[in-house]
């Protein structure tokens, strides 16, 4: 029985995944190469520094630790330029309603985002008080696909992993949920997220009646 739903943030509650992509693409372009949407799939759900390592590898670029820090800060500043202009209306349609429905059914609701900007984003969306537990990139050591973030969220929620359902748009996130022993709804393409228990095109397409079937 599912007693808690744990939501990823970027690409599941709001399209900040696109802002991450645009910022990484700008960095790649500045470094002299192109970053495609297909390349970007590898970056989803992964921490900032790990994403940078992947980007540099794609461009065949080596950098010192100091240079990497400068590059990561640049990317984060560009990402935050988008976030600063974000409107509460940018939350994906139907998401607030889904969270409300889950809570009304007595299902606990958690947020598990690898992003160190997660708290700022949920505040801007006005949903910071909707969650029974929040775990972000500042609170974990191992980034997805490691299960740490989901296990910590479940612990904070007081629900065993087997009774948790994760909503994820990233391949790394789906793997992390499975590694945690949780059920997972993929948000996006079934080709990309074929390891999830169920895939929906949009978060709000998930029907609460499915909870009993998972
Ligand atoms: C994840 C995103 O939620 O957070 C990744 O899917 C991003 O694309 C990661 O790299 C870390 O985000 P931030 O905001 O800490 O750089
Ligand atoms: Mg995501």
Looking at residue 91, the DSSP 8-state letter turns out to be: B
Q: What is the pLDDT of residue 176?
A: 98
Q: Residues 54-86: pLDDT tens digits?
A: 999 999 999 999 999 999 999 999 999 999 999
Give the closest residue (by CA) to ligand 1 atom 8.
Answer: 44
Q: What is the pLDDT of residue 182?
A: 98
Q: What is the pLDDT of residue 200?
A: 98
Token pair belonging to 58? 């794609």
Q: Which residues of the chain have pLDDT under 70?
A: none
Q: What is the pLDDT of residue 33?
A: 98
Q: What is the pLDDT of residue 169?
A: 98
Q: What is the pLDDT of residue 125?
A: 96
Catalytic residue among 8, 39, 136, 169: 8
Q: Can you give the pTM of this predicted structure?
A: 0.97
Q: What is the pLDDT of residue 181?
A: 98
What is the 52 CA–ligand 1 centroid distance (Å)?
11
Q: In what order do the strands lie in the sheet with 133-135?
A: 133-135, 108-112, 4-7, 164-168, 183-187, 198-200
Asked if 133 contacts 156 with a C-beta cutoff of 8 angstroms, the reply is yes
Q: What is the pLDDT of residue 1?
A: 94
Q: What is the pLDDT of residue 205?
A: 98
Q: Give the atom of ligand 1 at the shortest distance from the alpha carbon of 11.
A: 6
Q: Give the atom of ligand 1 at the shortest distance from the alpha carbon of 169.
A: 6
């Amino acid at each position: 029985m599912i007693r808690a739903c744990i939501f990823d943030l970027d690409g599941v509650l709001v399209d900040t995944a696109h802002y991450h992509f645009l910022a990484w693409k700008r960095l790649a372009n500045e470094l002299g190469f192109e970053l495609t949407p297909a390349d970007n799939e590898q970056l989803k759900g992964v921490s900032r520094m790990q994403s940078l390592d992947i980007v540099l590898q794609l461009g065949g670029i080596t950098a010192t630790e100091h240079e990497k820090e400068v590059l990561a800060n640049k990317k984060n500043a560009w990402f935050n330029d988008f976030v600063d202009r974000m409107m509460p209306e940018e939350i994906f349609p139907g998401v607030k309603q889904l969270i409300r429905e889950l809570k009304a059914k007595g299902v606990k609701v958690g947020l598990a985002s690898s992003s160190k900007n997660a708290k700022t984003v949920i505040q801007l969306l006005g949903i910071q008080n909707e969650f029974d537990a929040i775990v972000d990139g500042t609170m974990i050591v191992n980034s997805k696909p490691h299960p740490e973030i989901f296990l910590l969220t479940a612990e904070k929620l007081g629900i065993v992993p087997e009774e948790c359902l994760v909503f994820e748009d990233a391949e790394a996130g789906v793997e992390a949920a499975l590694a945690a022993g949780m059920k997972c709804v993929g948000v996006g393409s079934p080709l990309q997220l074929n390891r999830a228990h169920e895939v929906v095109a949009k978060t709000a397409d998930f029907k609460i009646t499915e909870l009993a079937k998972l």
